[in-house]
Each structure stands twice: as C-alpha cells, then as structure tokens.
C-alpha cells in the first residue's frame, strides 16, 4: 500500500487501482479453466451453434465466472489479508476498494447473465446465474467458513461450466456434460487438498475449516487417494461413451494413473520436505491433467482427430 | 449555546502518479466500452441474419 493512499484513504473514497487490478479480481487463471471446460461442453454437445454466437456465449460464461471470483474476493478480503497466498490480492493490498470490487462483481454478474440469455438461451443464462450464486453465496459466504466439506460441495460451481456450454448449444443438459461435470467435481478435492496440506498454517490463521485442519493431515491424505481412485475411471468415460476417441483414451488412462501415483506419494510421504514436494507435485500436475483432458476432447471433436472406440456406454 | 458548524474535510489531491494510474484505467474502460459496442453490433447481425435489411421503409 502506498503512503499516498494511506494518508488520503480516510478523506477520499476513491482508489487508484489500475485496469490490471480489476482484471486480477476476475481470477484470470480460474477463468481460463472455465473457458476450456465450457468450450468442451459446447463442442462435445450433440448439435451446433454459429461460431460467432458460440464465441460470444463463451465470453459471457468467462465474464460470469470472473464476476463470481470478484464477489468471492470482495467477501473474503478479511481472510485473504491473513494468508500468504492471497495477501497480495487487489483488495487486501489496498489497490482496489471493497465497494469498487462489489460494484464491479455485481455489474459483471448481471451483465454476463443478460448477455448469455440474449446470445444463447434462457436455460444457459439461468445456469450461469445459479453458478455465480453458488460460488459467491453458497460457497464463499456459507460453506467455506463452516465445513471441511467446503471445497467438495463448492467444487460443483467449478464443474457447472461444461453443462452451461452444452445448454448453449442444445438448450438442454445431457449425459456428455454430466460426465464432464463429474470429472471436475471429483478432481477438485485432490487438487485443493494438496494445496491445503501445504498451506494448513495459513488456513488455521484465517480460521478456515479446511480438511487438514479439521480431520488432520493423514485423513486428508487418505481422502485424496480415494477421490483420485474415483476420478481416474470417471475421466475415461468420455472414450467409452463415444465423445472421446483413442487419443483421449490413451491420455486419460495414462495421466489418470499418474494422478493416482502422485496421490499415493502424498499419502506415503508424510514428513518434511518430501511431503511438501509430493503435495506440490500433485497440485501442479492436477492442473495440467484437467487442462489436458479437456484440450484433447476439444482437439478430437473440433479438428477431426476422432478415432472412436466402439460405443460402450450412453 | 450555538451549534458548531460541521467540520469540513478537504480531500488530499491526487499525486501525478495517481492521476496517471486513473487515466490508464479510464482508457482501459473506454476500450472495453468500445469493444462492447462492436460485440453487440456483430451479435445482432448474426442473430438477425440477412433479415436485418428486410424492413419496411
């Protein structure tokens, strides 16, 4: 925080935040994941949409996701200031005022839902509105500070975008996007708890009941393995249902095995730098894993790279 | 006893660096608004299709 800001902040309620600070409020990395997963939902949906309208819908979904991230940062500014990972965010660092973030988040929320309704259809717009509500209110305001299952249930918010994507194309939900939902939903706990194990001191200081702080590190490690064992087979389903091809089958099986292997490493290595390294490895690879699965589905379906297996399911 | 007049709070002026930051923010906002105009124009053309020209004069 600059000295100029500190001396003036009481008398004048206007911040000097730059465009990049407001962009940071949208959680750009989460937004990029939402773009990839929503695009996958659109491309694997049975049907088609005009490319310009598809792009416009994707933009609205991305902005809606960003808006929910902004509302999350507005509500969580008090605890963000206490944690090393989040203390440099625009609100706790004083670059953006809470009232500005609230106005920005609400404006983008309403705007993105209206635009999606106009560009695509009412169902996808309603779904986007529900996703924003789920992340900003159900997860941020209620679950996060109340239960160690916060990121398990809250993970649904991050898993909705493929369903919104399918709704943009078909005006309905189908099995394809439900499977994509399940993959992201089951991926969230191993991904987040790997981070929570390393940052449990941060979460304890902020009073957030993350799983390692409530159930203990060992119980968390066991659950990471369980969720990975559940997630990896579910991630193969697109190949068995006919909307993922041979490349997807190979990638999902091999990377799924790596995810299980890294989870087991987290389970076995419980002390010292080796334990921390195992957690960071799982956390880092989990991001690559999800991006890779969805990128392969997009490539196969959009660029004619689909050498499909005989359809087993769906 | 007469009431004291409310204390006047004079906001401190922005520094030149603050003004430059606010200016960059305003330019970014103008670009976003311009982008939105183009966005709605293109989406309207696509949604309406060739029928956009088919209207009573």
- B22: chain A residues, CB-CB within 8 Å: 16
Distances (CA, A) of A239 to A35, A49, A127: 22, 23, 26
HSE, CB side, 13 Å, CA atoms: give it for residue A79. Answer: 17
Same domain, A162 and A251: no
Q: A133 in a domain, yes or no?
A: yes
Query: Contact at 8 Å (CB) between A221 and A266?
Result: yes
CA nearest to B43 within chain A: A53
Residue listed under structure tokens 């999800």: A290
The tally of domains found in chain A comes to: 2
Same domain, A141 and A273: no
- A22: chain B residues, CB-CB within 8 Å: 25
Q: A217 in a domain, yes or no?
A: yes
Using the Cβ of A51 and the Cβ atoms of chain B, whether some distance falls under 8 Å is answered with no
Using the Cβ of B17 and the Cβ atoms of chain A, whether some distance falls under 8 Å is answered with yes
pLDDT reading at B7 higher than 90: no
Distance of alpha carbon A274 from alpha carbon A27, whole angstroms: 30
Domain end: A149, A173, A197, which one? A173
Same domain, A169 and A179: no
- pTM, 2 dp: 0.89
- B47: chain A residues, CB-CB within 8 Å: 53, 119
Using the Cβ of A119 and the Cβ atoms of chain B, whether some distance falls under 8 Å is answered with yes
Distances (CA, A) of A22 to A26, A84, A100, A242, A252: 7, 20, 9, 41, 36
Q: Give the DSSP letter string of A215-270.
A: T-HHHHHHHHHHHHHHHHHHHHHHHHTTSS-HHHHHHHHHHHHHHHHHHHHHHH--
Over residues B7-27, mean pLDDT? 80
Query: Which residue from A90, A25, A3 is spatially nearest to B18, judged by alpha carbons?
Result: A3
State both tokens at A167.
Answer: 């709704």
pLDDT in tens, A82-132: 999 899 999 999 999 999 999 999 999 999 999 999 999 999 999 999 999
Range of the domain at A224: 175-314
Query: Which residue from A224, A230, A237 is spatially nearest to A293, judged by alpha carbons?
Result: A237
Domain end: A138, A154, A173, which one? A173
Question: Are B25 and A119 inside 8 Å of each other by CB?
Answer: no
Share of chain A above pLDDT 90, in %: 88
pLDDT in tens, A243-292: 999 999 999 999 999 999 999 999 999 999 999 999 999 999 999 999 99
Question: Are A119 and B47 inside 8 Å of each other by CB?
Answer: yes
Q: Give alpha helix (H) positions in chain A.
A: 3-8, 19-25, 28-44, 51-75, 77-80, 98-119, 122-133, 150-159, 161-170, 175-198, 200-206, 211-214, 217-240, 246-268, 272-302
CA–chain centroid gap for A79, Å, is 20
Mean pLDDT of chain B: 82
Same domain, A308 and A195: yes
Using the Cβ of A17 and the Cβ atoms of chain B, whether some distance falls under 8 Å is answered with yes
Domain end: A138, A173, A208, which one? A173
Question: Are A52 and B46 inside 8 Å of each other by CB?
Answer: yes
- A16: chain B residues, CB-CB within 8 Å: 14, 18, 21-22
Task: Identify the pLDDT of residue A9.
Answer: 45
Distance of alpha carbon A207 from alpha carbon A229, whole angstroms: 30
Q: Which helix (H) or strand (E) holds B32?
A: helix B16-48
Q: A11 in a domain, yes or no?
A: no
User: Cα-flanking dihedrals φ and ψ of residue A312, to 5°?
Assistant: -100, -40
Same domain, A152 and A206: no
Q: A83 in a domain, yes or no?
A: yes
- B39: chain A residues, CB-CB within 8 Å: 56, 59
Count of CB atoms situated within 10 Å of the CB of A63: 22
Same domain, A205 and A139: no
Same domain, A149 and A184: no
CATH of the domain at A86: 1.10.357.140
Query: Contact at 8 Å (CB) between A159 and A185?
Result: yes
Of A177-191, A212-226, B9-23, the range with the lowest mean pLDDT is: B9-23
Distance of alpha carbon A83 from alpha carbon A206, whole angstroms: 7
Distance of alpha carbon A113 from alpha carbon A72, whole angstroms: 17
Query: Contact at 8 Å (CB) between A116 and A57?
Result: yes
Task: Identify the pLDDT of residue A3.
Answer: 39
- Of B10, B15, B25, which has the smallest distance from its Cβ to A18's Cβ? B25
pLDDT reading at A138 higher than 90: yes
Q: A289 in a domain, yes or no?
A: yes
Distance of alpha carbon A290 from alpha carbon B23, whole angstroms: 39
Regarding an ipTM greater than 0.95, the answer is no
Task: Identify the pLDDT of residue A184.
Answer: 98
Question: Are B24 and A19 inside 8 Å of each other by CB?
Answer: yes
Same domain, A163 and A193: no
Q: A12 in a domain, yes or no?
A: no
């Amino acid at each position: 925080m600059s000295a100029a800001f500190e001396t003036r902040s009481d008398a004048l309620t206007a911040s000097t935040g730059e465009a990049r600070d407001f962009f940071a409020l949208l959680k750009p990395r989460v937004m990029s994941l939402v773009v990839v997963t929503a695009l996958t939902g659109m491309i694997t949906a049975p049907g088609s949409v005009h490319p310009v309208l598809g792009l416009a819908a994707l933009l609205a979904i991305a902005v809606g996701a960003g808006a929910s991230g902004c509302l999350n940062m507005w509500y969580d500014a008090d605890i963000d200031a206490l944690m090393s990972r989040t203390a440099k965010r625009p609100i706790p660092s004083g670059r953006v005022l809470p009232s500005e973030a609230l106005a920005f988040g609400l404006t983008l929320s309403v705007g993105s839902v209206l635009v999606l309704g106009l560009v695509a259809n009412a169902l996808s717009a309603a779904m986007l509105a529900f996703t924003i509500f789920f992340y900003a209110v159900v997860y941020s305001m209620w679950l996060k500070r109340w239960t160690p299952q916060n990121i398990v249930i809250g993970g649904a918010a991050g898993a909705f975008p493929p369903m919104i994507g399918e709704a943009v194309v078909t005006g309905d939900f189908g099995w394809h996007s439900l499977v994509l939902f399940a993959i992201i939903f089951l991926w969230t706990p191993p991904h987040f708890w790997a981070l929570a194990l390393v940052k449990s001191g941060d979460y304890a200081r902020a009073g957030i009941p993350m799983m390692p702080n409530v159930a203990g590190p060992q119980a968390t490690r066991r659950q990471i393995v369980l969720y990975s064992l559940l997630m990896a087979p579910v991630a193969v389903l697109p190949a068995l249902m006919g909307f993922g091809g041979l490349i997807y089958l190979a990638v999902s099986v091999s990377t799924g095995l790596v995810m299980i292997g890294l989870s087991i490493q987290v389970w076995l290595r419980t002390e010292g730098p080796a334990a921390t390294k195992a957690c960071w490895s799982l956390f880092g690879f989990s991001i690559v894993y999800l991006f890779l699965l969805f990128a392969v589905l997009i490539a196969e379906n959009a660029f004619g790279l689909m050498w499909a297996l005989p359809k087993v399911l769906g | 006893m007469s009431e004291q007049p409310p204390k006047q709070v004079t906001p401190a002026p922005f520094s030149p660096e603050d003004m430059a930051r606010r200016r960059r923010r305003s330019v970014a906002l103008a670009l976003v608004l311009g982008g939105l105009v183009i966005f709605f124009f293109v989406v309207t053309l696509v949604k309406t299709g060739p029928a956009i020209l088919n209207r009573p004069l």
